[in-house]
Structure 1
Amino acid sequence: MSDAPLSPTPLPPLAGPLPPWPGADVPIRSGTVFVRRTPWTGPADGQEVAGAPRERALYVHGLGGASTNWTDLAALLAVRFDGWAVDLPGFGRSAPPARGGYSIRSHVRAVVDVLAHVADQPGEGAGRPVHLVGNSLGGLVSLLVAAQRPDLVATLTLVSPAMPVYRVPPAFSRALLLLLVPGVPTLAERRLAAVTPEASVRNMIRVCFGDPAAVPPERIEQAVREMRERAGQPWADRALARSMRGLITSYLRLGPANAWRAARSLRMPTLVLWGSRDRLVDPALAPRLAAAVPDGRLLLLDGVGHVAMLEAAEPTARAVLALAEGRTGDELVAFPPAVADTPRSVRP
């Protein structure tokens, strides 16, 4: 394990919340999923575009999230990447799976299919492995994808991945464990349906952000609009409840399907990125995971919560770029301590 450097590559300014990137349906084995596309821009400092690195990246959101979680980060990383962000089956604008359900295995298959689709697209980068970035549930899924199909993955970035733990985080209701009981997920779906979009967004911000008060009002309004759209989908609550059940069930798996065992098998450069105020997945897991990966790098962001790509897009982008650029810990770039320092509250 080594400390993750931050790239000095010039990045474009982010002037307020960006609108979501456009997208389209992509066929997968279980139906179709909606995938947003962020086109490559080339260097942000006006340098010659000819010969500038142009690669591909796929972004995978977390439980209850959507492809729009990556809007800002994808815009920053467009200096190097053509970006694709997937709505997992049943989330965002993706329809529920025609078969396969909401197990972690099903989500893994969906991401493998999208990765292959991205790699097969014509143009520069065609046929080459893709940079894979996942958050929370999407981080766990991305790890398992990389372990199963290393030929498709150039680098792997895990933002607060939902690694198996055997105690319920304080931010979660212990009633969620009842999702393992047959019949209970239907009750959970009814309770989720009773929560208004405004309340859902307030709860999400309170739990997922290190500093909820710092979230811009425009971002909250945008999230409420998305939540209202999602509330109109008859399958939305089932997708959330069943995916949560699939996540918890996956923690009980042994052998190659176990995420910790899969992490030890990874051979591509891997970045483990965590916020010190993550209330959903214990930051103490960060150094353990980075140490388990043979070529693991670790970046802990002080004061940041569970969704670093939303709350700290620039340092997240610089860490992902450094990984793609092949930088090492000896090439650390000087940034403010609040961005790059290891918080004392995180135990090794």
Structure 2
Amino acid sequence: MSSTESPSVSAASVLPRVAPVRVGEGERLRSVSLPGVTLTVRSRPPAREGLPPALYVHGLGGSSQNWSALMAGLDGVVDGEAVDLPGFGDSPPPDDGDYSVTGHARAVIRHLDAAGRGPVHLFGNSLGGAVATRVAAVRPDLARTLTLVSPALPELRVQRTAVPTGLLAVPGIAALFTRFTREWTAEQRVRGVTALCYGDPGRVSPEAFQLAVEELERRLQLPYFWDAMARSARGIVDAYTLGGQHGLWRQAERVLAPTLLVYGGRDQLVGFRMARRAARAFRDSRLLTLPDAGHVAMMEYPEVVATAVRELLRETGDPVGGGAAGAGAGS
């Protein structure tokens, strides 16, 4: 493994240069070259030595930036890193074009193995929740605890508002949608995504909205943007249809790590009704329900989620995180 300032695999060498990814205050980015994939990793310098490691995995269409608020909220509790999954954020596509849940999980495992950071406190949202579940199930040695925010686990009755996202998995739909929305501005697109993902879009500050617009404008210049979206959506649909030992619910039952589940009452993509099923499936689970939150509670209510994570670490007896949690809970 090598860590550099820019991607070095073959897929990256042919990509056009676009505007740089925004790095928030206190954050840094690095590019990690692994077999078959290059990942961009966002991190914050640890507040002190010896903090337990954490890894954050974003959802479909997202990036490591989705975790910036929660990462800042857990400063002094964990030594956090957030990855851009292959084809998202500033990570180039995987060499083999595999955007399945298993393919994304393989990339996460390769990163953790190469970095030697495991076991980590593992976080996942939406698609990242499915990826994190698979990682924790097949490699229990890598997951210290598991925190899942609206994880994309199979539903028999998908919400009507989630259907357009699922349709991206249908061959040709992404290209059709691209042509149909050619005249849409990045601002219009971000406004639509915000309305879909937030319980209350009004919680997005004007500054955060503008940053999201700038990031989308950057990513729309990437020739693989829609392909990564469509293939990853197809990967979720395929994972929903798998049965047996490879089924996500079966793998959830195999997870040994203490698990925090976070569900939003206004989530338009993952049914709130799935919260109880998930709490039963994960053997050592605790459930946080936020009636006013949408699909990205860690962005909408980062302080509340951070408090629940501190409690998880305190309950599970993390020797460092538990102490920090006790100090931070009253702040």
User: TM-score, normalised on structure 2?
Assistant: 0.83
Does residue 160 (structure 1) correspond to residue 187 (structure 2)? The answer is no
Cα distance in structure 1, aligned partners of 2:205 and 2:168: 35
In structure 1, C-alpha distance between the alignment counterparts of 2:174 and 2:194, rounded to whole Å: 24
1:123 is matched with which residue? none
Q: Structure 1 pair 189/143, CA: closer, same or farther in 2 (3 Å)?
A: farther
Higher RCO, 1 or 2 (CA under 8 Å, sep at least 6)?
Answer: 1
Gaps of 5+ in 1: 1-16, 43-49, 121-125, 334-348
What's 2:69 paired with? Answer: 72
1:217 aligns to 2:206 (yes or no): yes
Alignment partner of 1:41 is 2:47: yes
Residues 178/215 of structure 1: CA separation in 2 closer, same or farther (3 Å cut): closer
User: How many Å apart are 1:266 and its aligned residue?
Assistant: 1.0
Q: Equivalent residue for 2:129?
A: 139
How far apart are the structure 1 equivalents of 2:231 and 2:196?
20
Asked if 1:82 is matched to 2:79, the reply is yes
Query: Quick check: 233-242 or 18-27, which moved more?
Result: 18-27
Query: 2:82 is aligned with what amino acid?
Result: A
Counterpart contact for 2:37–2:107, Cα < 8 Å: no
TM superposition shift of 1:145: 0.7
Q: What SS class does the counterpart of residue 171 from structure 1 fall into? A: helix
Letter in 2 for 1:307: V
Counterpart CA distance in 2 for 1:303 and 1:178 is: 27
Stretch moving more, 194-203 or 269-278: 194-203
Q: What amino acid is the match of 1:160?
A: S
Deviation at 1:189, TM superposition (A): 5.0
Q: How much has 1:302 moved relative to structure 2?
A: 2.4
Question: Following the alignment from structure 1 to structure 2, what is the Cα–Cα distance between the partners of residues 95 and 37?
Answer: 18
Q: Decide which moves more: 195-204 or 68-77.
A: 195-204
| Partner residue, 2:92 | 95
1:318 CA displacement: 1.2
Determine if contact 1:18/1:72 at 8 Å carries over to the other structure. Answer: no
Aligned to 2:300: 311
Letter in 1 for 2:39: V
What is the one-letter code of the residue matched to 2:265?
S
Alignment of 1:251 with 2:240, yes or no, is yes
Aligned partner of 1:301 in structure 2 is: 290
Residues 55, 123 of structure 2: 8 Å contact kept = yes
The residue aligned with 1:21 is 27
| Counterpart secondary structure, 2:286 | strand
Q: CA deviation at 1:82?
A: 1.1
The alpha carbon displacement at 1:190 in A equals 4.4
CA–CA separation in structure 2 for the residues paired with 1:108 and 1:21: 24
Contact conserved, 2:26 with 2:45, CA < 8 A, in 1?
A: no
CA–CA distance in 2 between the matches of 1:191 and 1:19?
37
Shift of the 296–194 alpha-carbon distance from structure 1 to 2, 3 Å rule, reads farther
Q: CA deviation at 1:117?
A: 3.3
Match of 1:228 among 213, 217, 225: 217
Amino acid at match of 1:98: D
> Counterparts of 1:49-64 in structure 2 under 5 Å?
54-64=51-61
Structure 1 stretch 152-161 or stretch 163-172: which is displaced more? 163-172
Does the 8 Å CA contact 2:239/2:247 hold for their aligned counterparts?
yes
Distance 1:325 1:192 in 2: 48
Alpha-carbon offset, residue 312 of structure 1 = 0.3
C-alpha RMSD over aligned residues: 2.2
Deviation sequence 1:255-286 (CA, Å, 0-9, x none):
12111111111111011111111111011101
- Offset, 1:156: 0.4
Q: 1:75 to 1:174 in 2, by over 3 A?
A: closer
Contact map agreement 2:263 2:275 (CA 8 A) in 1? yes
Q: Percent identity?
A: 44
Of 254, 268, 275, the residue aligned with 1:279 is 268
Aligned pair count?
296
TM-score when normalising by structure 1: 0.79
| Cα separation, 2, equivalents of 1:223 and 1:20 | 19
CA distance in 2 between counterparts of 1:135 and 1:20 reads 22
Query: How much does 1:178 deviate?
Result: 6.9
* Deviation for aligned residue 1:134: 0.3
What is the match of residue 238 of structure 1?
Answer: 227
Equivalent residue, structure 2, for 1:116: 113
Q: Is the 8 A contact 2:258 2:316 kept in 1?
A: no
CA distance in 2, matches of 1:176, 1:143: 20
Higher mean alpha-carbon deviation, 149-158 vs 167-176, is at: 167-176
| Alignment check: 8 A CA contact 1:19 1:71 kept | no
